[in-house]
Amino acid sequence: MAEKHKNHKLRRLIAMEQQKAQFTAQVHQFMEVCWEKCLDKPGTKLDSRTESCLTSCVDRFIDTTLSITNRFSQLIQKGSH
């Protein structure tokens, strides 16, 4: 019985680590897309269009992060019941 419990905990831990890795990969991909979309040319200052684009991108990033975090929380809670 104890072995089953350890295996279950290990599977949950592996699943959580895989989810973290997937989330990190999504963050990097999202940031790459925003960088390419918003920054036409590097300069010493951001123009208003670039600043607005980056602000919108960050807002979408935060919304996406919250949504994913909430979903992971739901999955973890389901798994612990």
Q: Which domains does the chain have, with CATH numbers?
A: 2-80 (1.10.287)
Q: Which of 23, 7, 6 is nearest to 73 (CA)?
A: 23
pTM greater than 0.75: no
Q: CA 52, 45, 51: angle at the middle one, nearest 5?
A: 5
pLDDT in tens, 6-60: 888 899 999 999 989 988 887 788 778 888 889 888 788 888 998 899 889 988 8
Q: What is the mean pLDDT of residues 48-76?
A: 87
Supply the pLDDT for residue 1: 63
Using CB atoms within 10 A of its CB, is residue 9 exposed (0-12), middle (13-18) or buried (19+)? exposed
Give the SS3 label for residue 14: helix
Q: Which two tokens stand for residue 40?
A: 């036409």
